Structure 1
């Protein structure tokens, strides 16, 4: 990262002074230097002591702030290397804000402790996934296939993406006609992976603009959310632009023994 100092100042500070001013450890400052995020104003060639100026202090504070916002080291480096171009960090933060809003929406739905549905428009982000095609005859069959695939991904050492639950691409279309009778439909199980460490066999699931139905309730009547979404699509003259994506949202909220009555599912139908 190119060093750019907006002012000249002869006053220098020791590592100890900077750690106290910035509320960080000595090892954190050294790690920032190794990552090329911070360049000391001066280094004593005789004893390798590092000295920092006020610009370094402000820079460290900004780096900490960007990290708290959720930016990764590579993203912060790019921000500085492009002389503060905010375009990419803004997009990253907007995506994080979208995820945060969705999480709040989910938790509010769970808090109601009643069967509930929320329909909204949703931008499904691109996902890099470990996938498998399968035939499914219902939710129990789908979950078995999905969890088998997830266990396989963990066994292979793939890094799962914490911000996105497991989901499936469901090829059934009967619900769009007010029906729920299709059996043994095609299904693609998707385990989202960390993009920067995804294996070659991973597949790209493209982003889409969609209508989304968020459902909280028992799985005794799985047709309810599907038929409600199909009815909404029909009544609002929406045109599907791809197969349905079914996101099973369980893990972010509970321990191992979650009751099926507390499951939350998001149905995502791409639309034109």
Structure 2
């Protein structure tokens, strides 16, 4: 058993899982973009949590868009110039529409439950189902699923992880935790999701309030006679890895698959 338990990753493991170099991880630390969960004072060895791995993925995603590490730091910590950062991404928009949409969601304000049309991608996921007492237990189970998916060595480096509400009652946390993995993953936890039209709400705030966004979306679906084709999903766009304990700035895309909406504007 590892000195600090099985839920932490050594730097070599983290680098291999995420497809980055050890040097890149150390540079992220030097830039103040990443802090290891544990740094052993005696050996100097670093150990990384699931949140650390998610943060590294987020940094790499922004670099892939064309942002420098200095710009990545500004993206995370400069809340006064969001428009300028958005413009920078718009200049790089060819082939990056999905990533640009993610940045645009940062402008959503608390209490804004506007319904949007969107599309959910085809993906293969590592999935585990849990009956959770509360949001804190749900977070523990999601992190546990993330770690198990990471251990396969096949976790997707681009697609977002999410949970599905397996019952229609927004007060019940019967959740399927879904971590996107590579197409050829064939374990018992494999679930395949087709590309689909969807309606969504970009919810800004702590996870305890996601039920409000689910209710708002459910009311919209009912009032407009929209045919749903699957459970409600909570897709985690901005959370603890890069927002720390500032839960008021967490952004979650609450979505529901629906019958084809092409040609409709909402």
Q: Normalization by structure 2: what TM-score?
A: 0.55
2:197 and 2:94 map into 1 onto residues whose CA distance is 14
Shift of 1:136: 2.4
Contact 2:65 2:96 in 1 (8 A): no
Shift of 1:232: 1.0
Shift of 1:206: 2.2
Q: Sort the Cα spacing of 1:211 and 1:255 in 2 relative to 1 into closer, same or farther, 3 A.
A: closer
- Partner of residue 173 from structure 1, selected from 161, 168, 172: 168
Could you say which residue in structure 2 is the equivalent of 1:99?
A: 98
Instruction: Report matched runs for 1:176-215 at 5 Å.
Output: 180-181=170-171, 183=172, 185-195=173-183, 198-201=185-188, 202-215=190-203
Could you say which residue in structure 2 is the equivalent of 1:218?
A: 206
Shift of 1:69: 9.1
State the SS of the aligned residue for 1:234: helix
State the SS of the aligned residue for 2:107: helix
Contact 2:102 2:237 in 1 (8 A): no
1:220 and 1:153 map into 2 onto residues whose CA distance is 25
Q: Sort the Cα spacing of 1:245 and 1:222 in 2 relative to 1 into closer, same or farther, 3 A.
A: closer
Gap runs ≥5 in structure 2: 1-63, 67-92, 260-266
Q: Normalization by structure 1: what TM-score?
A: 0.54
- Partner of residue 236 from structure 1, selected from 224, 238, 246: 224
Shift of 1:205: 2.0
Tell whether 2:263 aligns with 1:268: no
Structure 1 outlier segments of 4+, above 4 Å? none
1:264 and 1:69 map into 2 onto residues whose CA distance is 20
Contact 1:158 1:198 in 2 (8 A): no
Shift of 1:161: 2.1
Contact 1:127 1:206 in 2 (8 A): yes
> Number of paired residues?
169
State the SS of the aligned residue for 2:113: strand
1:118 and 1:153 map into 2 onto residues whose CA distance is 33
Could you say which residue in structure 2 is the equivalent of 1:119?
A: 115
Which protein shows a greater Rg?
1
Q: Sort the Cα spacing of 1:222 and 1:169 in 2 relative to 1 into closer, same or farther, 3 A.
A: closer
Contact 1:115 1:218 in 2 (8 A): no
Could you say which residue in structure 1 is the equivalent of 2:126?
A: 130
Shift of 1:221: 3.6
Could you say which residue in structure 2 is the equivalent of 1:247?
A: 235
Shift of 1:204: 1.3
Could you say which residue in structure 2 is the equivalent of 1:147?
A: 143
1:138 and 1:217 map into 2 onto residues whose CA distance is 16
Gap runs ≥5 in structure 1: 1-67, 71-93, 175-179
Could you say which residue in structure 2 is the equivalent of 1:75?
A: none
State the SS of the aligned residue for 2:229: coil
2:95 and 2:178 map into 1 onto residues whose CA distance is 21
State the SS of the aligned residue for 2:158: coil
Contact 1:242 1:270 in 2 (8 A): yes
